[in-house]
Amino acid sequence: MNTNKLDLNNCANCPVHNVGNLKKLGINMSDYDYVIALAGNPNTGKSTVFNNLTGLKQHTGNWPGKTVTRAEGGFEFNDSRFKIVDLPGTYSLLSSSTDEEVARDFILFGQPDVTVIVADATRLERNLNLVLQVLEITDRAILCLNLMDEARRNKIDIDVRTLSKDLGIPVIPTEARQNIGMQELLNSINEVASGKFICKPYRMKGKSKELNSAVGKLSQKIKREYPNIPNSNWVALRLLEGDQSIIDAVRTGELGNIKEVKRGITKEELQEEEAV
Partner 1 sequence: MIKQTEHNNEEILSLANNLRWDLGQNFHDQLMESIFANATTIAQRSVTTSKEKPLFSFDRALDRIVTSPVLGFPVMFIILAVVFWITVQGANIPSEFLASILINDIHPALKSFAGSIGTPLWLSGVLIDGAYLAMAWVVSVMLPPMAIFFPLFTLLEDFGYLPRVAFNMDNLYRRAGAHGKQALTMAMGFGCNAAGVVATRVIDSPRERLIAIITNNFSLCNGRWPTQILIATIFIGGVVPAQIAGLVSAAAVVGIAVLGIVFSLVVSFGLSKTMLKGEASTFSLELPPYRPPRILRTLYTSLIDRTIIVLWRAVVFAVPAGMVIWLVANISMGGESIAQIFINWVDPVAVIIGLNGVIILAYIIAIPANEIVIPTVLMLTVIVAGLTGVGSGSGVMFDAGSASATGTILTAGGWTLLTGINLMLFSLLHNPCSTTIYTIYKETKSVKWTLVSTFLPIVMGIVVCFFVTQIWRLFTGA
Positions in the binding site for partner 1 (CB under 8 A): 42-43, 57, 59-65, 68-69, 94, 96-99, 122, 124-126, 128-129, 131-133, 150, 154-160, 162-163, 166-167, 177, 202, 204-208, 210-211, 214, 217-218, 221-222, 225-227, 236-237, 239-242, 247, 250-253, 256
CA-based nearest residue to 40, from 125, 144, 114: 144
Asked if residues 104 and 95 have their Cβ atoms less than 8 Å apart, the reply is: no
Instruction: Give the nearest distance from C-beta 162 to partner 1 in angstroms.
Output: 4
- If the CB atoms of residues 31 and 159 are measured against partner 1, the closer one turns out to be 159
Neighbours of 216 (CB within 10 A): 12
Query: Least separation, in Å, of the C-beta of 80 and partner 1?
Result: 29
Of residues 31 and 166, the one with the C-beta less far from partner 1: 166
Nearer to partner 1, 76 or 260 (CB): 260
CB-neighbour burial class of residue 57 (10 A; exposed 0-12, middle 13-18, buried 19+): exposed
In the complex, least distance from residue 211 CB atom to partner 1, rounded to whole angstroms? 6
Q: What does DSSP say about strands 171-173 and 71-77: parallel, antiparallel, or unpaired?
A: unpaired
Least distance in angstroms from the C-beta of 11 to partner 1: 23
The phi and psi torsions of 82 (rounded to 5 degrees) equal: -115, 135
Q: Which is nearer to partner 1, 15 or 206 (CB)?
A: 206
CB of 129 to partner 1, least distance (A): 5
Q: Which is nearer to partner 1, 100 or 184 (CB)?
A: 100
Closest by CA position to 49, among listed 131, 126, 128, 119: 119
Contacts of 235 (CB under 8 A, 6+ apart): 108, 219, 222, 229, 246, 255
